[in-house]
Amino acid sequence: MIKKEMIAMLLAGGQGSRLGVLTEKVAKPAVSFGGKYRIIDFPLSNCINSGIDTVGVLTQYQPLLLNTHIGIGIPWDLDKNEGGVTVLPPYEKSTNSEWYTGTANAIYQNMDYMAQYNPDYVLILSGDHIYKMDYEVMLDFHKANKADVTIATMPVPLEEASRFGIVVTDETNRITQFEEKPEKPSSNLASMGIYIFSWPILKEALLAKKDQNNLDFGMHVLPYCHEKKQRLFAYEYNGYWKDVGTLGSYWEANMELIDIIPEFNLYEEFWKIYTKGDIIPPQYISQEAVIGKSLIGEGSEIHGEVQNSVIGPNVYIGPGTVVKDSVIMRNTSIGRNATVDKSIVAESVKIGNNVTLGAGEEAENVAKPKVYSFGLVTIGEHSVIPDGVTIGKNTAISGETTMDDYPGGTLQSGGVIAKDGESA
Amino acid sequence: MRAIGLILAGGSNNKMRELSNKRAIAAMPVAGSYRSIDFALSNMSNSHIQKVAVLTQYNARSLNEHLSSSKWWDFGRKQGGLYIFTPMVTADNSWWYRGTADAMYQNLNFLKNSHEPYVVIASGDGIYKLDYNKVLEYHIVKRADVTVVCTDIDGDDINRFGVLKMNEESRIEEFEEKPMVTQSHTISTGIYVLRRRQLIEMLEKCAQEDRHDFVKDILIRYKNLKRIYGYKIKDYWSNISTVESYYKTNMDFLRPDVREYFFREGPEIKTKIDDLPPAKYNPGAKVKNSLIASGCIINGEVENSVLFKNVFVGNNCVIKNSIILNEVYLGDNTHIENCVVESRDTIRANSYHYGEDGIKIVVEKNERYVL
């Protein structure tokens, strides 16, 4: 019989709507990060580096790119004879077919997948955080405390605590109280959305709560375990951990990688982050190029100026163009004499000559002021921007735009152009 | 595919000077991200040749490391595979490979046990793209016994190659190995196509006569007896087996046409993936007309150079017209000009290396963990 001590279940089905046009056609875990990576590379690499070789990836929202990226798991050595990576989309059942309606519901619907590995422990992960973590150390903690459930936590500033699930612990790290996004938090230990369950406990809880609508770990399963007086422990993590759920935090996390010695260091031999490296050639920096503090990916050709930016693989930046404080994802090309200021440009975008991104003063976004703020210009994947246009701050563009979309050649600050898809 | 592949990657020569101390020529890093043998291997794979043997002898470990997994070139399948043959002692043989023909003869069983009718023979030190199917079609149309892929070159480099002359039908009439003086500009690229049974027969005959070299003892001796044809290629082709040509080949990749041809146009050249982070430029970095591979961290000045993977360039360094191989550490204030810096070198701060008349090869100890 197949037996795995611990298997991982990676929740990768969410849209991540606060990333706006970046996740219009791409699930959040598949969004590029740090030049050559995608967000899901971090939990997947953590798994294999922690010795976990069986990972179920639960997908639902726009899974095409995610599926292509994961494939059979070769980049992470997760192409195993036994175990390895399995993509788990929702499926039709003889009775009660439904989408994944909540985090715990998704896990519940894949009970058979977990059972076939006969695990002692199940690790629940989410696919939208940037961090390096040894789950084996967390498992040791779980075992040492004879815990039923261990929740990875980290201290956050008290004023931000109401955005998280908050736990209160006693002196032995046992959780005495559990609050989901409390208005008045009674501690600053935030749940990171990473849980280790002893398998019988998880099974029992999911079966007991299976009829709950939108069954969620933070809202339903953990409080249920807590009520049943099970042994819930908080494992405190103090390394780098970044939730890149908003455009602002996404941009910031990318910018932090450029620091001379970044807090999150990708250059260490130890604990490598793996990704599907499909672009092999070196990058070319031309005679007229100027490169300041930046990260630049494989196969890119730079003829212009790049300052304080993260440039993905296979990007072309034309002569006379200046890119500053920006994130440019793979396969994007930018023409001549363009100015790109504080922008996030997704994959395979074509930006014409003499285009200006990030011009003028900030103004509130007309469509989604909470999403498109921070003064950023955000451009969705496969967008086209014609020659010579000027685009303001807090703007979003998706789809193939033409001159007609820019009255007077300009998109004012706060404007949105959504050519394909429902809305930006 | 109707052919199997043989890659002759055995050799070393003193024209590579110190660079061949550490590795076989076929394992030389090329163009920032690749190794020389990747080109032959990718061409085989892209031509749908599924069964490939690499014959290696000199410093075979360097090559073995690179080929430790065959999946990067899409080999390692149920049908076919990548085989690495080093010399071995058997009941009736205890020789090293005494030449190219001998290397193949010692692996005659591999040839005999295959069922594909043709064999493509290539060397591990050529930088080119070629669809071997085209050569094979030509071979069949010409009803040739052996087809030799050849190309025109100019320059005095010619005397390190096999030089040939074809008649108007492209049949090879003259073939000289490394001549001192020659009128022809056409050279053999060391790529051959022939029937598997023909090769077996020639190799057996050659071995009976105690001869060991494929060019000298087979091609040249048979040229009037057998139908040996030339297939001329006009695209980029370069052989890296001298320091000068190695240097030039790497520098060729700074040309837009060469980059376009190898990096952008399909089919792609594949190599072992290293999972390195993107190159990082810190304040003080000043890079002009250079190729930079992944994992590099740059704090200084780089001009007209090729930096391979994981190179660290310290503050106030100046690197000009140079090739810096994998994992070199350059301490602060170092000046490198007209050099090839051997991989994993640790260049101490304030060093000065200048290739005055020709290319200087810099070999330093790896003192990374002492510094």
- pLDDT, tens digit, 9 for 90 and up, residues B265-300: 989 999 998 899 999 999 999 999 999 999 999 999
B369: Cβ contacts below 8 Å, ≥ 6 apart: none
Radius of gyration of chain A (CA): 22
**CATH code for position B79:** 3.90.550.10
Tell me what percent of the residues of chain A surpass a pLDDT of 90: 85
The domain boundary, picked from B236, B264, B292, lies at B264
- Sequence-ordered alpha helix ranges (H) in A23-74: 41-49, 64-70
Average pLDDT over residues B145-164: 91
**CATH code for position B296:** 2.160.10.10
Would you state the pLDDT for residue A421?
57
Partners of B293 on chain A (C-beta within 8 Å) are 282-283, 298
Whether residue B233 sits in one domain with residue B137? yes
Question: Which tokens go with A389?
Answer: 């246009």
Partners of A258 on chain B (C-beta within 8 Å) are 280
The answer to whether the CB atoms of A267 and B277 lie below 8 A apart is yes
Any idea how long chain B is? Answer: 371
Would you state the pLDDT for residue B155?
78
Whether residue B197 sits in one domain with residue B120? yes
The domain boundary, picked from B231, B264, B297, lies at B264
* Degrees to nearest 5, angle at CA B350 with B348 and B356: 100
CA A270, distance to chain mean position in Å, is 22
- Tell me which residue in B31, B259, B292 faces A285 most closely, judged by beta carbons: B292
Top-confidence residue, B61 or A384: A384
The interface predicted TM-score (ipTM) is: 0.91
Whether residue B255 sits in one domain with residue B291? no
Would you state the pLDDT for residue B1?
67
Q: How many CB atoms lie within 10 A of CB B116?
A: 17
pLDDT exceeds cutoff 90 at B154? no
- Cα-based distances in Å from B58 to A278, A330, B10, B86: 31, 40, 6, 9
Would you state the pLDDT for residue A424?
45
Instruction: Name the residue range of residue B340's domain.
Output: 280-362
Q: A259: nearest CA in chain B?
A: B282
Is residue B238 situated within a structural domain? yes
pLDDT tens digits, one per residue of B182-222: 888 999 999 999 999 999 999 999 999 999 999 999 999 99
The domain boundary, picked from B240, B264, B288, lies at B264
Strands (E), A170-220: 175-180, 189-198
Which chain A residues in 69-128 lie under 8 Å from chain B, judged by CB atoms?
74-75
Q: In what order do the strands lie in the sheet with A390-392?
A: A290-291, A305-307, A322-324, A339-341, A356-359, A390-392, A410-411
Tell me what percent of the residues of chain B surpass a pLDDT of 70: 98
The answer to whether A343 and A379 have CB atoms below 8 angstroms apart is: yes
Whether residue B305 sits in one domain with residue B259? no
- Cα-based distances in Å from B291 to A30, A277, B33, B113: 29, 18, 10, 44
Question: Measured between CB atoms, does B88 come within 8 Å of chain A?
Answer: no
End-to-end CA distance of chain B: 53
Question: Measured between CB atoms, does A392 come within 8 Å of chain B?
Answer: no
**Token match 């993977």: residue?**
B309
Whether residue B92 sits in one domain with residue B8? yes
Partners of A286 on chain B (C-beta within 8 Å) are 288-289
Would you state the pLDDT for residue B58?
87
Whether residue B197 sits in one domain with residue B221? yes
- Tell me which residue in B32, B269, B297 faces A282 most closely, judged by beta carbons: B32
Whether residue B177 sits in one domain with residue B58? yes
User: Which of B149-167 are b and which e, b meaning 16 or more Cβ less than 10 Å from the residue's Cβ?
Assistant: bbbebeeeebeebbbbebe
Would you state the pLDDT for residue B173?
93
Q: How many CB atoms lie within 10 A of CB A319?
A: 15
Residue type for position B182: T
Instruction: Give bridge partners of residue B329 from the DSSP assignment.
Output: B312, B346
pLDDT exceeds cutoff 60 at A422? no
Q: A265: nearest CA in chain B?
A: B277
pLDDT tens digits, one per residue of B348-368: 999 999 999 899 999 987 776
Mean pLDDT of chain A: 94
pLDDT tens digits, one per residue of B35-58: 999 999 999 999 999 999 999 988
pLDDT exceeds cutoff 80 at B10? no
Query: Strand pairing of A165-169 and A189-198?
Result: antiparallel
Task: Report the SS3 class of residue A265.
Answer: coil
pLDDT exceeds cutoff 50 at B371? no
Would you state the pLDDT for residue B370?
44
Partners of A255 on chain B (C-beta within 8 Å) are none
Partners of A282 on chain B (C-beta within 8 Å) are 31-33, 291-294, 306-308
Is residue B371 situated within a structural domain? no
Whether residue B306 sits in one domain with residue B344? yes
Task: Report the SS3 class of residue A238.
Answer: coil
Is residue B343 situated within a structural domain? yes
pLDDT tens digits, one per residue of B111-122: 999 999 999 999
Partners of B268 on chain A (C-beta within 8 Å) are 280
Count the domains in chain B: 2
The answer to whether A373 and A358 have CB atoms below 8 angstroms apart is: no
Among A78, A257, A284, pick the best mutation site for testing chain B contact (most B Cβ within 10 A).
Answer: A284
Whether residue B239 sits in one domain with residue B158? yes
Peptide bond into B117 cis (omega under 30): no
A113: Cβ contacts below 8 Å, ≥ 6 apart: A56, A86, A88
Whether residue B353 sits in one domain with residue B326? yes
Mean pLDDT of chain B: 93
Is residue B275 situated within a structural domain? no
pLDDT tens digits, one per residue of A24-82: 999 999 999 999 999 999 999 999 999 999 999 999 999 999 999 999 999 999 999 99
Partners of A281 on chain B (C-beta within 8 Å) are 31-33, 259, 262-263
Q: How far apart are CA A58 and CA A41, in angstroms?
A: 15
Q: What secondary structure, in 3-state letters, does chain B show?
A: CCEEEEEECCCCCHHHHHHHCCCCHHHCEECCCEEHHHHHHHHHHHCCCCEEEEECCCCHHHHHHHCCCCHHHCCCCCCCEEEEECCCCECCECCCCCCHHHHHHCCHHHHHHCCCCEEEEEECCEEECCCHHHHHHHHHHCCCCEEEEEEECCCHHHHHCEEEEECCCCEEEEEEECCCCCCCCEEEEEEEEEEHHHHHHHHHHHHHCCCCCHHHHHHHHHCCCCCEEEEECCCCEEECCCHHHHHHHHHHCCCHHHHHHHHHCCCCCCCCCCCCCCEEECCCCEEECEEECCCCEECCEEECCEECCCCEECCCCEEECCEECCCCEECCCCEEECEEECCCCEECCCCEEECCCCCEEECCCCCCCCC
Whether residue B296 sits in one domain with residue B243? no
pLDDT tens digits, one per residue of A239-294: 999 989 899 999 999 999 999 888 899 988 889 999 998 889 999 999 999 999 99
The answer to whether the CB atoms of A281 and B306 lie below 8 A apart is no
* Degrees to nearest 5, angle at CA B21 with B19 and B26: 65
Q: Nearest to residue B106, comparing CAs of B230, B204, B243, B231?
A: B204
Is residue B116 situated within a structural domain? yes
The answer to whether the CB atoms of A75 and B273 lie below 8 A apart is yes
Average pLDDT over residues A119-145: 96
The answer to whether the CB atoms of A281 and B262 lie below 8 A apart is yes
Whether residue B140 sits in one domain with residue B109? yes
Question: Measured between CB atoms, does B265 come within 8 Å of chain A?
Answer: no
